[in-house]
Amino acid sequence: MNRIPTLIKDSQRLPELCPHDRASQPMEPTGILVNDIHSQLNETLVNRVACSDSVQMIQAVIEQAKAECRAISIAGGRHAMGGQQFGADTILLDTGAMNRVLNFDRREGLIEVQAGIRWPELLSYLDRVQVGRWPQWGIRQKQTGADRLSIGGALSANAHGRGLRFKPMIDDVESFTLVDADFRLWTCSRRENHELFRLAIGGYGLFGVIVDVKLRLVPRQKVQRVVRIIDLQDLIPAVEQRVSDGFLYGDFQFSIDSESDDFLRTGVFSCYQPIEEAEMPKRQKELHPDDWRRLLYLAHKDKKRAFHAYSTYYLSTDGQRYWSDSHQLSEYVDHYHEGLNGQLGPSGIGTEMITEIYVPRTSLVQFMEDVRGDLREARANLIYGTIRFIEEDDESFLAWAKERYACIIFNLHTAHTREALERTAEDFRRLIDRAIQYGGSYYLTYHRWATRKQVEVCYPQFVEFLKLKNKYDPEERFQSEWYRHYKAMFADAL
Ligand SMILES: Cc1cc2nc3c(=O)[nH]c(=O)nc-3n(C[C@H](O)[C@H](O)[C@H](O)COP(=O)(O)OP(=O)(O)OC[C@H]3O[C@@H](n4cnc5c(N)ncnc54)[C@H](O)[C@@H]3O)c2cc1C
């Protein structure tokens, strides 16, 4: 491997608590309770939280952890829901303060950022420094369900957006720098330390701390939204048509009303087509946090009205113009369910859990038909559902996009009682079984409810992944609840 030696200065002190953790400090003196943002189902007592804004501070944290024989977990935006960013009794390294742009190569369209930077910060930087210049660069893709996610988190899950013909994030990464368990720095790319490059992208923080990332940008374009209400069985031909017509982005938001014949069949098909010389409007229709809160309320209380309101709104935006990067931003109201709990009453208390299922495009209609029956039978409470599209990832080690899949996202409401959680976990396992039936798979980032058999079928390289984790980090300095779960699951094979 290609080593770049670095020194840690004596004067470097250990980083302090992050303000939001300090604010929510329990009286408990022995740890700090942390949790994920969306599901709130990963409450973990970490030993302490270290906020670092430089490579040197991160190295100091790792050195200190080593001296204490303590493991480290790494968090960006805290949106993963399988416990990947937290570990009981670990030092939680919060990367939120590592949010600077380090270099922007305007000629080549490459940008180097610290890994804790979140999408809105990156987009607003690009906006600011390119005012009045043409052509401009923008990001190609980001997650579309929320914005305050870090680039380090996006790499670690090998995330994707709503591109109609893109591979996952790994395809947008030129290189990154990783600090390992012995606080050494590694440059990882397709040319240097390639194995580590393939492992850390989609490797959920288990190989070290990604400190900076060089991303490849794409020319920023004007795009026009084209919205149609269509039937699921017309979706795949419609997508292929859009792709051949040059559309770049798109998705299909399907009906969530299990009592209607439209359930999982009818959807809002919104796509984005590049346009040339159009004036960009100063103002146009958009959903504000209060609109989202209302839609979320309806999705819990009156699904028919929710889908009607959502589709009517979307149809009314047909023809609106956007920028190819910023149209991917979407409002996410942190802790929205706390507000809903009061409105919905006792039966509505809980949160949502997401799962993302992959099936070959040719099996999409039949898969959804089966799932219609399954979700109705289980009386699952579907809050939203989307279908997106992905090209095969032939690079990352733990690749989820094993082929040109349709990606189906189900966001289910769950109460937090033991019985309700077991029912939701069972609903998710049934969805995975349906995917497997059609040669598909599922996304590891959203939960760790899959059975060993399901993991083995969908990720046959998982044991090898854990062995490589051991090769690069034999003292298991980087750990999480997610890692501990799979280490225990596959203990006999390791
Ligand atoms: C509402 C919602 C919408 C979502 N929408 C999408 C979507 O559209 N597409 C999609 O692909 N995913 C989506 N996700 C999943 C999300 O992309 C992943 O869970 C992502 O990893 C979260 O990033 P984060 O910054 O919140 O990271 P965290 O949740 O804090 O951490 C996630 C993982 O990244 C690791 N990590 C973070 N930073 C670093 C670093 N600097 N070095 C090493 N490891 C690091 C952590 O250790 C952990 O394993 C969504 C999740 C939610 C809750």
pLDDT score for 470: 97
- Give DSSP secondary structure letters for 394-443: -S-TT-S--SSEEEEEEEEEE-SSHHHHHHHHHHHHHHHHHHHHTT-EE-
Kindly report the pTM of this predicted structure.
Answer: 0.94
Looking at ligand 1, which residue's alpha carbon is closest to its atom 53? 79
Ligand 1 centroid–CA 204 distance in Å is 8
- Are the beta carbons of 193 and 187 closer than 8 angstroms? yes
189's CB contacts (< 8 A; 6+ apart) are: 174, 175, 176, 197
Which atom of ligand 1 approaches the CA of 205 most closely?
44
- Residue 494: pLDDT over 80: yes
CA distances from 169 to 215, 237, 484 (A): 9, 25, 26
**pLDDT > 90 in the chain, percent:** 88
Which atom of ligand 1 approaches the CA of 158 most closely?
11
Q: How far apart are CA 394 and CA 401, in angstroms?
A: 8
pLDDT score for 321: 96
Instruction: Render pLDDT for 136-156 as a digit per residue (tens, 0 to 9).
Output: 999 999 999 899 999 999 999
Q: How far apart are CA 49 and CA 167, in angstroms?
A: 34
Q: How far apart are CA 207 and CA 171, in angstroms?
A: 20
Residue 277's pLDDT band, with cuts at 50, 70 and 90, is: confident
Instruction: Render pLDDT for 433-473 as a digit per residue (tens, 0 to 9).
Output: 999 999 999 999 999 999 999 999 999 999 999 999 999 99
pLDDT score for 27: 52
- Residue 237: pLDDT over 60: yes
Ligand 1 centroid–CA 357 distance in Å is 17
Helix (H, G, I), strand (E, B) or coil at 186: strand
Ligand 1 centroid–CA 288 distance in Å is 24
**pLDDT > 70 in the chain, percent:** 94
Q: What angle do CA 240, 242, 248 make, to 5 degrees?
A: 110
Ligand 1 in reach of 74 Cβ (< 6 A): yes
- Residue 13: pLDDT over 50: no
Residue 21's pLDDT band, with cuts at 50, 70 and 90, is: low
Q: How far apart are CA 433 and CA 442, in angstroms?
A: 10
How many C-beta atoms lie closer than 10 Å to residue 257's C-beta? 19
- Are the beta carbons of 364 and 235 closer than 8 angstroms? yes
Instruction: Render pLDDT for 191-208 as a digit per residue (tens, 0 to 9).
Output: 999 999 999 999 999 999
pLDDT score for 251: 98
Which atom of ligand 1 approaches the CA of 149 most closely?
25
Q: How far apart are CA 279 and CA 393, in angstroms?
A: 36
Instruction: Render pLDDT for 344-387 as a digit per residue (tens, 0 to 9).
Output: 988 889 999 999 999 999 999 999 999 999 999 999 999 999 99
Which mutation among 41, 74, 144 tests ligand 1's pocket best, with the greatest number of atoms within 8 A of CB? Answer: 74
Ligand 1 centroid–CA 186 distance in Å is 22
Residue 204 corresponds to which amino acid?
Y
pLDDT score for 23: 45
Ligand 1 centroid–CA 151 distance in Å is 8
394's CB contacts (< 8 A; 6+ apart) are: none
Which mutation among 445, 472, 484, 486 tests ligand 1's pocket best, with the greatest number of atoms within 8 A of CB? Answer: 445
Residue 336's pLDDT band, with cuts at 50, 70 and 90, is: very high
**Angle formed by the axes of helices 462-472 and 481-489, nearest 10°:** 120
DSSP H or E stretch at residue 251: strand 249-254
Q: Which residues pair with 99 in a beta bridge?
A: none
Instruction: Render pLDDT for 102-142 as a digit per residue (tens, 0 to 9).
Output: 999 999 999 999 999 999 999 999 999 999 888 899 999 99
How many C-beta atoms lie closer than 10 Å to residue 142's C-beta? 26
Residue closest to 265 by CA, chosen among 354, 387, 356, 377: 387
- Residue 78: pLDDT over 50: yes
| Residue predicted with more confidence, 174 or 5 | 174
| Burial 403-421, CB ≥16 within 10 A → b, else e | bebbbbbbbbbbbeeeeeb
Ligand 1 centroid–CA 75 distance in Å is 9
Q: How far apart are CA 116 and CA 152, in angstroms?
A: 6
Which atom of ligand 1 approaches the CA of 208 most closely?
43
Which atom of ligand 1 approaches the CA of 115 most closely?
41
Which mutation among 59, 99, 150, 213 tests ligand 1's pocket best, with the greatest number of atoms within 8 A of CB? Answer: 150
With DSSP H G I counted as helix, E B as strand and the rest as coil, what are the percentages for the chain, rounded to 5? 35, 25, 40
Q: What angle do CA 52, 53, 56 make, to 5 degrees?
A: 80
- Residue 8: pLDDT over 70: no
Ligand 1 in reach of 52 Cβ (< 6 A): no
Ligand 1 in reach of 159 Cβ (< 6 A): yes
Q: Cis bond leading into 135, ω under 30°?
A: yes
pLDDT score for 134: 86
